[in-house]
Amino acid sequence: MTIVLVFQKHVSNDVSNLKLKIMKQNNVNISIVPDKRRVKEDETFPLKLRLTFRGVRKYYATGCDANLQDWQLIQEDKVRGKLKKKALSLLEIRLNAEKCCNGLANFSFAKFEAAFFPKTIAVINVRTAFEKYNHQLNENGQIGSAIVYNCACVSLNKFKPNLKFEHITVEFLRSYEQWFISQNNSITTVGIYLRGLRAIVNYAIQEGLMDANDYPFGKRRYIIPSGRNIKKALKLEEIAKIYHHPLPEDSTTQMCRDYWIFLYLCNGMNVKDLCLLKYENIEGDFIHFLRAKTTRSRRANPEPIRISLKEETKRIIDKWGQKPVHPDKYIFPFLKNGMSLIKINDQVQLAIHLINEHMKKVALEIGINKNVTTYYARHSFATILKNSGVSTEFISEALGHSSLSTTKNYLSGFEEDAIRKNTDILVSFM
């Protein structure tokens, strides 16, 4: 009998502990914190509303900034003056967030966001749906994608002013495609724009603005054209010509050629990642970094790209890198700490344009009849490794692709030279 009572007591305690653990997991922790990742030029930090639920954290803007000294004062009970007004504003935000969370039967971040934030954009047609979607992209720092979506919206409304969701049919999409191409635009661009429209249509169906039965995309409906994905790769001997071509010392052209070589040697790195590199990314003879393109899509378990630093990449860093060396300093002089996301995007686009313009000049001088751009650096990295017998798995990891199927599709355009070379043996008897 005693054993049974002891056993029941242990079970009861275990159940109580389990209930307590579940309650703690289901609680939402709410606080105001400085976002030290976003230091501004005046050394202030954005103050963010932070919600923590089941180990997941999300941050929301409060519209308030403070330096670390003011932040310490704001947290004290006897804060005065302008800081007191700011402290009361932050307290109100936190209390309203707590009230909002308590009013939700089953908490989720999506439910909180829908209940807590005012809906500033009423979706009444395709244009306003694009505007709301673009607002989210800009908030997430996806400035480039927002620009593309805005271009798609302008083009679609030029074809059909005041475009509504009921207008989006298979016939409409086919007519838009024909009209767009008739304006001397490429099939690749129309595909990009219509993939943007497809995302908006999916959003409209989720929001109940469009009936799922009216979905116009897919098999036996409208298939978005993909265009020819022409791979822009150089041969090893062409890269050797670029590398050895004499250029005026310390000239802009020499700098851009060196940046292009750096991209090629660093796993076909794109220009945005080049601009975002900091000295803290260098660990011994390796560079470790997360691709800007994939950090959001795989933020739960981001995989860093590891690059072996060659003597040439070290030379380029030593020649063109910013001095003095500091872990938090950008290696190359494109960006500054505290820049807005829009300014960062502008600087990256400027860097791409600069490198491309000078690489065209270099290619022309050495007789390479190709429009050599930064894309050539990435594609050349992949195709040279592929044709040298390097495994697709290694290339996939080096490029930072999320799956092998992505890499196989990426490499498919590089295989013509390999097919030609491997089948030459068939005519060797001649």
pLDDT per position as a tens digit, 168-212: 999 999 999 999 999 998 898 999 999 999 999 998 888 778 888
- Residue pair 50/33 in contact by the 8 Å Cβ criterion: yes
**Is residue 98 located within the same domain as residue 208?**
no
The pLDDT value recorded for residue 426 is: 61
**Is residue 303 located within the same domain as residue 377?**
yes
Which range of 29-43, 123-137, 155-169, 385-399 scores highest in mean pLDDT? It is 155-169
Is the per-residue pLDDT at 77 higher than 60?
yes
**Is residue 375 located within the same domain as residue 333?**
yes
Is the per-residue pLDDT at 359 higher than 90?
yes
Which range of 15-24, 42-51, 212-221, 228-237 scores highest in mean pLDDT? It is 212-221
**Is residue 40 located within the same domain as residue 90?**
yes
DSSP 8-state code for residue 302: P
Mean pLDDT, the chain, rounded, equals 83
Domain hosting 35: range is 24-116
The pLDDT value recorded for residue 23 is: 43
- Domain contains 227: no
Q: Point out the domain boundary residue: 59, 82, 116.
A: 116
- Dihedral sign for Cα 163, 169, 170, 175, please: negative
Q: What is the mean pLDDT of residues 163-167?
A: 91
Q: Helices 392-399 and 374-387 sit at what angle, rounded to 10 degrees?
A: 160
**Is residue 302 located within the same domain as residue 323?**
yes
Q: Point out the domain boundary residue: 90, 116, 142.
A: 116
**Is residue 281 located within the same domain as residue 374?**
yes
**Is residue 62 located within the same domain as residue 206?**
no
| Cβ-Cβ contacts under 8 Å for 411 (sequence gap 6 or more) | 382, 383, 386, 392, 395
- Domain contains 70: yes
Cα 329 to Cα 331: distance, rounded to the nearest angstrom: 6
198 vs 123, higher pLDDT:
198
- Residue pair 121/128 in contact by the 8 Å Cβ criterion: yes
**Residue 358 pLDDT class (50, 70, 90 cuts):** very high
**Is residue 210 located within the same domain as residue 241?**
no
What is the CATH number for 367?
1.10.443.10
* Half-sphere exposure for 325 (CA within 13 Å, toward CB): 9
**Residue 7 pLDDT class (50, 70, 90 cuts):** very low
Number of H helices, E strands in the chain: 17, 6
Is the per-residue pLDDT at 19 higher than 50?
no
Q: How many domains in the chain?
A: 3
Cα 273 to Cα 344: distance, rounded to the nearest angstrom: 11
Alpha helical stretches, state H, 207-299: 236-244, 252-265, 271-276
The pLDDT value recorded for residue 86 is: 85
Least confident of 36-45, 79-88, 89-98, 169-178: 36-45
| Structure confidence by residue, pLDDT tens digits, 254-311 | 999 999 999 999 988 999 999 999 999 999 999 998 888 766 554 446 678 888 899 9
Q: Point out the domain boundary residue: 92, 116, 140.
A: 116
The pLDDT value recorded for residue 352 is: 95
The pLDDT value recorded for residue 294 is: 67
- Domain contains 349: yes
**Is residue 192 located within the same domain as residue 252?**
no
The pLDDT value recorded for residue 11 is: 45
Q: 305-308 and 286-289 as β-strands: parallel, antiparallel, unpaired?
A: antiparallel
**Is residue 415 located within the same domain as residue 334?**
yes
Cα 305 to Cα 402: distance, rounded to the nearest angstrom: 12
**Is residue 296 located within the same domain as residue 373?**
yes
- % of the chain beyond a pLDDT of 70: 82
